[in-house]
Amino acid sequence: MSGSTPGGIFDSLKGLAASLVAIAHTRLELLSTDLEEERARLVSVLAMLFVALFCLGIGVVLLTILVAVIFWDSHRLFALAGLTGIFLLGGVAALWCARRRFRAKPRLFAASLGELSKDRQHLMDGS
Q: pLDDT of 86-104, one tens digit each?
A: 888 988 898 888 888 877 7
Could you report the per-residue pLDDT of 11-61, keeping only the tens digit for each? 888 888 888 888 888 888 888 888 888 888 888 888 998 898 888 889 888
Spell out the domain ranges in the chain: 6-126
Side-chain half-sphere CA neighbours of 75 within 13 A: 6
C-alpha–C-alpha distance, residues 35 and 37, integer Å: 5
Tell me if 109 sits within 8 A of 34, measured CB to CB: yes
C-alpha–C-alpha distance, residues 39 and 21, integer Å: 27
- This prediction has a pTM of 0.48
